[in-house]
Structure 1
Amino acid sequence: MYTPAAFRLDSLPELHGHILATRLAILVSHGPDGLEASHIPLLLEPDAGEFGTLHGHLARANPHWRALAAGEVMVIFPGVDAYISPGFYAAKAEHGKVVPTWNYETVHAYGQAEVFTDAQRLLQVVSGLTDRHEARQAQPWSVSDAPADYIDGMLKAIVGFSIPVARLHGKRKLGQNRSTADLQGVKAGLSASRDPRDQALAEAMKNL
């Protein structure tokens, strides 16, 4: 990922925070049939290894899992993003030498995946994912709420994987290379938008 120094995110706590805030990641690998990608939720075990370990699962019917062990995989954790109009910049009125751009945040994780089918490990992964995302519900559902034989059958239909993260690359492109006046103009323009995605990026820029 092309990452100029001004946009590089190196802080491990911030990288982990971004991963934890991402609800749906993109798992990319290259196998015998070429590039494959799956959109899946993941668990981060932050203290496992130098950069943490990611855990997830794929449907057994999804051929992607067979390609995971073929080499290094990449996981993309998208963040907020927004189109930046030249009209937001104070520089537009000063000299007009401005063009559109796109601001965004993202983290890429790399590592070698380990695939597993052990029922107990699979149960830990699906239970962890469920507990994480059910926590915001008024009455959280638990895997143990379903009949045990039903869950046993569902576990047979998935394949788990773990990815000890070997490299983490983070990019926070929020206009850090622009003047204070231009930054204020972008924040104002995005904040005034009715699109919640624009407003989310303006919030991410608040400390610039």
Structure 2
Amino acid sequence: MFLPNAHEEKDTAVLLQFIRENPLGLLITGVKSSQDFLQCTHVPCVLDFPEESGESAPNGRLRAHIAKQNPQVKGIVEALENKPNVLDLDDNVLVIFNGTHDHYVTPKYYTETKPDTGKVVPTWNYSAVQVYGKLSLYYDSKTPEAGAFLHKQIRDLSQHTEESIMGYMGGDKPKAWTVEEAPEKYVELLQRNIVGIEIRIEKIQGKFKMSQEMRVGDREGVAEGFAAMGGGDGEGAFEAGQGARFVARCQKAVEDTTHGE
């Protein structure tokens, strides 16, 4: 990831929280096999913070599951000659998490530089976090290790997405759906057709590209421009919630860089 100083986020706690809030990761592997060398799969992940991960993963870990028939899984299994209960890749894998919202930035928003010199071009603002780490594949759900891993992972993921993403906490809101509401035999059947993924985090990087490198008036113009998109043609893109958080990040970029000048 290209990380200009103005865009890089170095606070690990902020990056880990970003993953918690945006759990759909893009898992990328490069494995020599009869499958394509480069493979990627979108996977919702459970993040265990460092304090939850123990000595085996001092930087935290990701837990996920994907279909056993996925070519990415087939390539990993094929590449490893020995087939223990848990398959470990020697090389790092990469997981990319994108923010809930990103958007094109028109030069019209650069309200200081455009009328001054005209030296402005379009860009795209976004936020992303990428993780490098060691992958373990829990392949056979009939083994105790894989069975226990998958049993916990699918329940932890369901709880996180139901409660944190959907807000189903009970009270004035609906109760969260639980795995136990599905027929046991049905869950067992599905579990036999998935594999568990564990990634022990070795490096984490984050980029919040919110026009921080621009002049103060331009940054304000970008934040105001996005904020004004709450109605009319922009309503679909900047409805309450997702768009509001994106605008807040842009406004924070204005405040942070203004205070530093």
TM-score range (shorter-chain normalised) is over 0.9
TM-score calculated relative to the size of structure 2: 0.75
Which residue in the other structure is 1:103 paired with? Answer: 125
CA contact 1:12–1:51 (8 Å) conserved in 2: no
For residues 45-68 of structure 1, the C-alpha deviation after alignment (integer angstroms, 9 at most, x for no partner) is 012233210000111111212445
- RMSD of aligned C-alpha atoms? 1.6
- Answer with 19-28 or 138-147: which moved more: 138-147
Counting matched residue pairs gives 208
Find the residue that maps to 2:156 and give its secondary structure. helix
The amino acid of 1:148's aligned partner reads E
Q: Which has the larger radius of gyration?
A: 2
TM-score calculated relative to the size of structure 1: 0.93
Find the residue that maps to 2:102 and give its secondary structure. strand
Map 1:75-90 → 2, pairs under 5 A: 75-79=95-99, 80-89=101-110, 90=112
Using the TM superposition, give the Cα deviation of residue 150 of structure 1 relative to its aligned residue in structure 2, in angstroms. Answer: 2.4
Map 1:58-77 → 2, pairs under 5 A: 58-68=66-76, 69=89, 71-77=91-97
Distance 1:16 1:112 in 2: 17
Using the TM superposition, give the Cα deviation of residue 198 of structure 1 relative to its aligned residue in structure 2, in angstroms. Answer: 5.5
Unaligned runs of 5+ in 2: 77-88, 141-145, 169-173, 254-261
CA contact 2:63–2:153 (8 Å) conserved in 1: yes
Unaligned runs of 5+ in 1: none
For residues 133-182 of structure 1, the C-alpha deviation after alignment (integer angstroms, 9 at most, x for no partner) is 12223132111122322222221111001000111111111111111111
CA contact 2:94–2:130 (8 Å) conserved in 1: yes
Match of 1:39 among 38, 42, 47: 42
Using the TM superposition, give the Cα deviation of residue 71 of structure 1 relative to its aligned residue in structure 2, in angstroms. Answer: 2.6
CA contact 1:29–1:67 (8 Å) conserved in 2: no
CA contact 2:68–2:74 (8 Å) conserved in 1: no
Distance 1:198 1:160 in 2: 33
- Answer with 121-130 or 147-156: which moved more: 147-156
The amino acid of 1:20's aligned partner reads R
Find the residue that maps to 2:47 and give its secondary structure. strand
Which residue in the other structure is 1:187 paired with? Answer: 223
Which residue in the other structure is 1:170 paired with? Answer: 206
Which structure's relative contact order is higher, taking Cα pairs within 8 Å and 6+ residues apart?
1
CA contact 2:61–2:201 (8 Å) conserved in 1: yes
State the 4+ residue runs in structure 1 displaced beyond 3 angstroms. Answer: 197-200
CA contact 2:91–2:134 (8 Å) conserved in 1: yes
For residues 41-90 of structure 1, the C-alpha deviation after alignment (integer angstroms, 9 at most, x for no partner) is 00000122332100001111112124453632100000131111111112
Which residue in the other structure is 1:133 paired with? Answer: 161
